[in-house]
Amino acid sequence: MNNILFICLGNICRSPLAEGFLQYHVNQRKLEGSFNIDSAGTGNWHIGKPPDRRAIRAAAEYGVDISKLRARQITPKDMDSFALVIAMDRNNLSDLQLLRNNTNAGCQIELLSESSLEPGFIDVPDPWYGDYKDFQSVARQIDSACCSLLEKLIQDD
């Protein structure tokens, strides 16, 4: 089983997009039985809320429905339950490293961009203060990285 947790700050823009896109590609390949995919935020401001409506709309352009997802905050237990924890940006990554140091959990932590072939891509920029075009750009970047991530995970299995 591939246990994968995507992390951003609020869990209402970037990480729900990553969860939705990876799940979509997994479903397309009929690999649902081999993947457990979730997302969470390092912050607690939006717990229980659906994704930002601009993220919902950007995902819908790809035929992906993320409207039923609800935001939650990462817990120390997540660092044990998920083998692979994927951060959207370097701020999320350093928060995760601190959390793991406090729990001694054995999960692997990496940046989403490590799975991407896109030159110069390090952080998925936070689109929260941007406009809809920023959400479209982030959605495209995340979708492409999730495709590459899935290829990598299938090869490693």
Planar angle of CA 145, 93, 100, nearest 5 degrees:
125
Catalytic member of 52, 95, 126, 143: 126
Residue 143: active-site member:
no
Residue 8: active-site member:
yes
In angstroms, what CA-CA distances link 72 with 45, 49, 113, 151? Answer: 9, 8, 23, 28
Distance CA(43)–CA(34), nearest Å, equals 29
Residues in contact with ligand 4NP, shown as a per-residue x/- string from 38 to 57 under the rule CB under 6 A: -------x------------
Minimum CB separation of residue 104 from ligand 4NP in Å reads 26
Binding window for ligand 4NP (CB under 6 A); candidates: 4-12, 22-30, 96-104, 108-116: 4-12
Contact between 9 and ligand 4NP by CB under 6 A: the answer reads yes
DSSP 73: B
Catalytic member of 13, 14, 52, 89: 14
Binding window for ligand 4NP (CB under 6 A); candidates: 3-11, 62-70, 93-101, 147-155: 3-11
Residue 157: active-site member:
no
User: Backbone dihedral region of 50: left (phi > 0), alpha (psi from -120 to 50 degrees) or beta?
Assistant: beta
- Cβ proximity to ligand 4NP, 13 vs 64, nearer residue: 13
Which residues lie closer than 8 Å to 142 by C-beta, 6 or more apart? 14, 17, 18, 21, 112, 124
**Residues within the interface to ligand 4NP (CB under 6 A):** 8-14, 45, 126, 128
